[in-house]
Amino acid sequence: MGYGNRGGSTGRSNKVYKQRLVNHVAFVLDGSSSMDIHAASVVKVVDAQTAYLARRSKEMDQETRVSVYVFADEVECLIYDTDVLRLPSIKDLYSPYGWTALLAATIKSQQDLAATGTLYGEHSFLTFVITDGKENHSFDERGRRIQPSVVNELITGQADNWTVAALVPDILSKRDTIDYGFPKDNVAIWDTTSSAGMDEVGEVITSATESFLQGRASGVRGSRSIFSTGSDAVNAATVKSTLVPLAGDKYRLIPVMPEGVTKDSKVRVDKFIKDDCGMKFQLGRVYYQWNKREKVQPHKQLAVVEKKTDKVYVGTQDEVRAMIGLPDMTVSQKADPNPDFDIFVQSTAPNRNLVPYTKVLVML
């Protein structure tokens, strides 16, 4: 019987083994009575997200484990750290009632996940808290109301492999959530008054999750800006290290200001290019400035323009899309303010209406 190395070969190769990427994704769902009108949509969105995660985890060779929490008068864990390839539907598990224990749910989900075994592998944690209202029913084990400062201390004290995000109903709720310690670019507002609001939540989560997975593949452990196309995601460092600058003779950048235009005018793209710019309109060569909520299909090319220089940057494949976390599916998303860069989206329809006082990018 031998122990250790007696000076000869250990019999092991010098190969360096790469740690497996393991993602722990949690959905923390408002289950209060006001969510009853959205119940069917919540089930559809969560089931679709787990199916999406299962597909992308296999494609990107990342292990993903999912937890689902629901909060009303109490906080309940419906599914805990389960392999995404083996998840059941939540349709028989989600039934809204009662109040909104938002703070308690945030604490429980993060404390539970912190107890997850991480001995081997490269682990990261991503949590989405989804609510249509305000905190009104969180108590600790002694029956005392939980103070926001407790949640703030918990979240701000997390390591860099933890990402916590929230979708909330309005600007006041967003301010409250930021006060709870959620990074400001990890809080988004959704339309609770629309039947399509929860579908948009699904699109936003898919986009954010894709950004997270892409970041994991490139060595990023967590993010404080997963809902942002602003300067946290698109900046001089990310643009100039990832994208390719176009030569000045390969494009024109043109203000959308035809004669007589007002801010409410409709400016049809093919007419503008032919009549106002004196150029031949060619489908696919014109890009519009992304400055409001837009549906961006997966086949559309994207470009980035530096405001100060009007220099255009593009990717050789899908680098711009990956930079801002757009998945390979149609999403409806707003562009965040960015002081240094604008994002332009390829127009694939001759009848698109351009927004007056923006710009169009024409590839030559």
Residue 163: name the closest of 209, 105, 99, 97 by CA: 209
pLDDT-derived band of residue 1, with 50, 70 and 90 as boundaries? Answer: very low
CATH superfamily label, 21-217: von Willebrand factor, type A domain (3.40.50.410)
CA–centroid distance for 307 within its chain: 24
Can you point out the beta strands (E) in 173-329?
Answer: 187-189, 244-245, 251-255, 267-268, 286-289, 294-296, 302-306, 311-314
Instruction: Give the residue, 118 or 323, on which the prediction is more confident.
Output: 118
Q: Per mean pLDDT, which range of 4-18, 139-153, 190-204 is the poorest? A: 4-18
Mean pLDDT across the chain: 90
- Return the pLDDT at 14: 58
Position 12 scores a pLDDT of: 56
Tokens 């995601």 belong to 233
Res 2: pLDDT: 43
The percentage of residues in the chain with a pLDDT greater than 90, rounded to a whole number, is 68
Residue 13: predicted pLDDT: 55
Q: What's the average model confidence in pLDDT over 26-55?
A: 96
Q: How confident is the model at residue 17 (pLDDT cuts 50, 70, 90)?
A: low
Going 285 to 291 to 295 to 296, the CA torsion angle's sign is positive
Q: Give tens-digit pLDDT for 253-303.
A: 999 999 888 888 999 999 999 999 999 999 999 999 998 878 888 889 999
Q: Which two tokens stand for residue 193?
A: 């008054």
Q: Average of pLDDT values for 239-258?
A: 94
State residue 116 phi and psi, 5-degree precision: -70, 140
Does pLDDT of 331 surpass 80? Answer: no
Q: What is the DSSP letter of 272?
A: I
- Domain borders along the chain are 21-217, 236-363
Question: What pLDDT is stored for residue 3 in this prediction?
Answer: 44
Whole-number Cα distances in Å, 138 to 36, 71, 103, 126, 327: 20, 10, 6, 22, 35
Provide the pLDDT for residue 154: 97
